[in-house]
Structure 1
Amino acid sequence: MTPMEQLKAMVAGKKVAFIGAGVSHKPCITMLAALGADITLCDQKKSLDDFGDYADTLRKLNVKLSLGEHYTDGFAGQDIIMRTPGYEFFKPELQAAKQAGALVTSEVELFFELCPCEIVAVTGSDGKTTTTTLIAKMFEAAGRKVFLGGNIGAALLPQLPDVTPADIAVVELSSFQLISMRKSPKVAVVTNVTPNHLDHHKDMQEYIDAKRNILLWQEPPCRAVLGYENDITRSMAADCKGEQFWFTRLHETDHGAFLRESDDTLCYAENGVVTPVLPRAEVKLRGLHNVENLLAAIAAVWGRVPVDVMRQVGSTFTGVEHRIEPVRVLDGVTYYNDSIASSPTRTIAGLRSFDQKIILIAGGYDKKIPYEPLAPEIVAHVKVLVLMGATAPRIEKAVRENPNFDPQALPILHADSMQHAVELARGAAKPGDIVSLSPASASFDLYPNFEVRGRDYKRIVNELQ
């Protein structure tokens, strides 16, 4: 059977519930309805009218609705439940449905089950999107047809009819997607694992175990690429089922990608042979953390992409939106958008990527992760700190309690909105200064996601007169 015939056999005549009608679920609802599924949409919205223009599609597809406060009642009697990453796998209502016999799965999980081509997937607390994008760019530059998805790009399952065995799927996976997965990619990359999303995971161990799922279900021949400098990812070598390679910028390895200290060159080593890929001076991405992302990508595609193609991409790729993204120069001040920095480790990487002290805009939704590790980096790399959002008091407390904090050398300002934060930063800036939005926090107190936060910041900055 073809992948589409397999999917049809799985869903035709079956009761299928979707949790939410987000970006990835909308095309999947249409697809599964066309394959003969009896669909129920379970959503917190109170009425069909709350779906706006999408209400017409739901009517045409004869989708049943389970809405409002008790929307999870719609799980009862379902054959298949399509979970969105935002709905926690271990919620009692979902586990009860699973115990009652429902298959709990997701768009990404079904794609992994049915995909006819090789899958390369990336997870980690930091660097996922840049690494995933670099890998996709390298395959594209080598002439492969690439399907990019998961945590970025478009939903993959609706593209299944177009995927051939000669293609390549490059997928970014979050812990929320991985936690229930029982199939791993042919090539798996784990960038690093640091405290994150502890507002959603039971504890740090559950978060780590979710990440491990990218490796645990691999079947040889397979490849795993792990960050050597992170204790947790280094320990994951024990989980690897096939070839295992490192990436590191601080050590030389004979088994993976590394930054050679003697000539500052990104290299790859295997079987006693060291191959230079490109000098760090030619890397267009800003920051040492992006050197690590490029090393991870090199290790992932090695043997699948020619070295000259890796070199070409590494020397031309300038970055992904919201990741230390230059916005504009105004009155001699350069503004950057690093809205992706929703954890302290990301903000630390951003701060270290500049060779001068900067004006930092930070703060946002509280994910219950510690800010003490961020404090010394702020003291060392920030000249003015502008704080906003729910985490502002926690970040300020950590900074003020740092033994090297000097209130005269590091003013701390407070803003009640993004507009106010940009105005405070502009007021503190002099020609030659750098202002960066790098929140070290999620966006959910004021924005639906970091992309909307970043675009609002860019709009405000671009409207400055």
Structure 2
Amino acid sequence: MSTIAEYLESLRGKSVAVIGMGVSNTPLIRMMLRAGLKVTVCDKSPRERVEELAAELESLGAKFQLGEEYLDKLYRFDVIFRTPGLSPNHPELVKAAEKGREITSEMELFFRLCPCKIFGVTGSDGKTTTTTLISEFLKEAGFNVYVGGNIGKPLLPDVGGMTADDMVVVELSSFQLMTMTLSPNVSVFTNLSPNHLDYHHTMEEYTNAKRNIYLHQKAGDRAVFNFDNDITRELSKEAPAGVTLFSRKSKLEEGVYLRDEAIWLTNAMGSREVLPLADIRIPGVHNIENYMAAIAAVDGVVPDKCVRAVAKRFTGVEHRIELVRELGGVKYYNDSIGTSPTRTMACLDSFQQKLILIAGGYDKGVPFTQLGREICKKVKVLVLCGATAPAIRQAVESAPEFAGSGLEILETHDLAAAVAAAQGAAVAGDVVVLSPACAAFDQFKNFMERGKRFKALVNEL
């Protein structure tokens, strides 16, 4: 199958189910309906909640299976497009697979049809910034670049216009990778720590999903791994193609590392300084690691001068330690992307002073023990809200560092009250950060919506 037109033609006469009418699947649904295919949209939302979009798709010929019974008898369909948020282990999908139905996804199909080089990024933390940096490096070097996956828009509708000279950069979640049988030409594995255990149930299943980013690589492909992370360092040993390691803590004989306040790279061509740390405008040691990962990914494709040009102007991605405003000598930062304890710990490490931290949210089943200890060391006032507030409080108060820390803990019922409490506790010179250590699903659709609400609340102060 070489083109999207040929693929759509191969579906003629078959019944197609698309699970979920969210950001990644709606363009796919429109494209298939316009090609005259028989498409049923399966979505958990009741009709009244999605009426406008449903009416539009219905006018193009879509049928619907909505509400709580949206997954009933999936085996009736010949081809099923899974949404990343639905586990492939769901009984209805398992039953459909047993009956020989084809189960795929928008991203899997894109990988089959993409005519150009694909850079893929995964990991527990740092995916979006690393993905963005790679794309900015490539653009600076003059390439036509498409960015998508878990960041930005779905790429399948664009595949027909792509050429062999273009470049694609995709952020890939464990949900997307779980059933992938193709890997990017260049894969980047930023790090790995417990995450999404509400979805994957075990760390082993989560790790195995992530492994698909490099397991299916071929000769000439390359995988980039974080040497400082125990899990990714071990996984790098099983990569089937070329491997480049990066390390913030160790000088590597080969790979990307720190030396004399700069990022260096050593490969078969020799050693060279790529980027002085002074050129990096975004705060935090984790962002130095994101730069290292991105530099390793584009080695041999992008000149070092392009990397330096990007570093001097790049001020970060929205919702990632984003300065919202300064009011009365207090700085307010939005780090709503802090959806795991490790992300929030990286955020705490990015500042030289004790913070006023707003944390708490949806419970993904991840432990807060280490976060509790770090909060005791680096936070002066902890403002908690959301479903995990009691669990985070317990982790903090159980930490050996809590006694004598002087840490004040405030509990509030929602984000608006949390912002008001943080402002009430702050004096000139303080830093207030929203970095929840949890997903947003208890009160918001996603971390972006949470971050925008936080920024609106801060700007109203």
Q: Structure 1 residues 272, 156: closer, same or farther in 2, change over 3 A?
A: closer
Does the 8 Å CA contact 1:110/1:157 hold for their aligned counterparts? yes
Once residues 57 and 150 of structure 2 are traced to their aligned partners in structure 1, the CA distance between those partners, rounded to angstroms, is 25
Distance 2:23 2:163 in 1: 24
Distance, in Å, in 2 between the alignment partners of 1:182 and 1:6 is 20
Secondary structure at the aligned position of 1:170 is classed as strand
Matched, 1:17 2:27: no
Opposite residue 385 of structure 2, the aligned amino acid is: M
Which amino acid in structure 2 is aligned with residue 411 of structure 1?
E
Q: Is 1:393 the counterpart of 2:390 in the alignment? A: yes
2:255 aligned with 1:256: yes
Counterpart of 1:165 in structure 2 is: 164
Partner of 1:181: 180
For residues 244 and 375 of structure 2, what CA distance do their matches in structure 1 show?
33
Distance between the aligned counterparts of 2:103 and 2:309, measured in 1? Answer: 42
Given residue 207 of structure 1, which amino acid in structure 2 is its aligned partner? Y
Moved more, 133-142 or 237-246: 237-246
* C-alpha distance 384-50 of structure 1, shift in aligned 2 (>3 A): closer
Secondary structure of residue in 2 paired with 1:76 = helix
The reply on whether 1:301 has 2:330 as its aligned counterpart is no
Q: State the Cα deviation string for residues 293-333 of structure 1 (Å, max 9, x = none).
A: 00000000000111100111122211000000000000000
**1:320 is the counterpart of 2:312:** no
- One-letter amino acid of the structure 2 residue matched with residue 443 of structure 1: A
Q: 1:442 aligned to 435, 439, 455, which one? A: 439
Change (3 A) 1:237 1:408: closer
Say if 1:148 and 1:169, in contact at 8 Å, map to a contact too: yes
Which residue matches 1:206?
A: 205
State the secondary structure of the residue aligned to 1:356: coil
The residue aligned with 1:133 is 132
**Counterpart selection for 1:310 from 307, 312, 315:** 307
Query: Secondary structure of the residue that 1:278 maps to in structure 2?
Result: strand
**What secondary structure, in the 3-state scheme, does the structure 2 residue paired with 1:71 have?**
coil
Aligned with residue 349 of structure 1, among 316, 339, 346: 346
**Pairs within 5 Å for 1:115-134:** 115-134=114-133
| Cα shift at 1:46 | 3.0
With the length of structure 1 as denominator, give the TM-score of the two structures. Answer: 0.97
Q: Secondary structure at the match of 1:24?
A: coil
Deviations 1:29-76 (A, max 9, x none): 0111222321011112333x4323212222212111112221112513
Give the Å deviation of 1:11.
Answer: 2.1
Write the distance in 2 (CA, Å) between the matches of 1:46 and 1:316.
45
Matched, 1:409 2:402: no
Q: Find out whether 1:35 has 2:35 as its counterpart.
A: yes
Q: Which residue of 2 aligns with 1:145?
A: 144
- Matched with 1:245 is 244
**Cα shift readout 1:166-188 (whole Å, capped 9, x = no counterpart):** 10110000000000000000000
Counterparts of 1:12 and 1:353 in 2: how far apart (Å)?
54
Secondary structure class of the residue paired with 2:370: coil
Let me know the Cα RMSD of the aligned residues.
1.2
The range that moved more, 433-442 or 96-105, is: 96-105
Q: In the aligned structure 1, how far is the partner of 2:341 from the partner of 2:159?
A: 37
State the Cα distance separating 1:232 from its structure 2 match.
Answer: 0.8
After superposition, what is the alpha-carbon deviation per residue over 1:225-248, rounded to whole angstroms, capped at 9, x for unaligned? 000111110111222112101111
Query: What CA distance in whole angstroms lies between the structure 2 residues aligned with 1:385 and 1:413?
Result: 6
Q: CA contact under 8 A between 2:376 and 2:405: conserved in structure 1?
A: no
Aligned to 2:283: 286
The answer on whether the counterparts of 2:75 and 2:92 sit within 8 Å (CA) in structure 1 is no
Q: 1:222 and 1:325 mapped to 2: Cα distance?
A: 35
Show the counterpart of 2:460: 463
CA distance in 2, matches of 1:317, 1:46: 42
Q: 1:421 to 1:78 in 2, by over 3 A?
A: same
Structure 1 portions without partners, runs of 5+: none
1:452 partner letter: E
Asked if 1 retains the 8 angstrom alpha-carbon contact of 2:73 and 2:92, the reply is: no
Q: Output the amino acid matched with 1:374.
A: L
Structure 1 residue 359, shift from structure 2 partner: 0.4
Pairwise CA distance, 1:462: 0.3
Secondary structure (helix, strand or coil) at the match of 1:454 reads helix
Does structure 2 conserve the Cα–Cα contact (< 8 Å) formed by 1:86 and 1:176?
yes
Q: Which one is further off, 8-17 or 383-392? A: 8-17
Query: In the alignment, what sits opposite 2:430?
Result: 433
Matched pairs, number: 461
Distance 1:230 1:300 in 2: 18
Offset at residue 128 of structure 1 (A) = 0.2
The answer to whether the 8 A contact 1:339-1:437 is kept is yes
**Which of 274, 278, 291 matches 1:277?**
274
Shift in CA distance, 100/120, structure 1 to aligned 2, threshold 3 Å: same
> How far did 1:12 drift?
2.3
TM-score normalised to structure 2 length: 0.98
Q: Work out the CA distance in 1 between the residues paired with 2:279 and 2:29.
A: 45
Whether the 8 Å CA contact 1:40–1:74 is kept in 2: the answer is no
C-alpha distance in 2 between matches for 1:72 and 1:273 = 56
Q: Which residue of 1 aligns with 2:84?
A: 85
Residue 408 of structure 1 and its aligned partner are, at CA, apart by: 6.4
Q: 1:390 offset after TM fit, Å?
A: 0.9
Instruction: List alignment gaps of at least 5 residues for structure 2.
Output: none
2:354 & 2:49 partners in 1: Cα distance? Answer: 47
Identical pairs, percent: 50
Distance 2:22 2:236 in 1: 35
Distance 2:189 2:302 in 1: 20
Contact 1:125 1:192 in 2 (8 A): yes
> Is the CA contact 1:121–1:188 (under 8 Å) kept in the aligned structure 2?
yes
For residues 344 and 77 of structure 1, what CA distance do their matches in structure 2 show?
Answer: 42
Question: How many angstroms does 1:165 deviate by?
Answer: 0.8
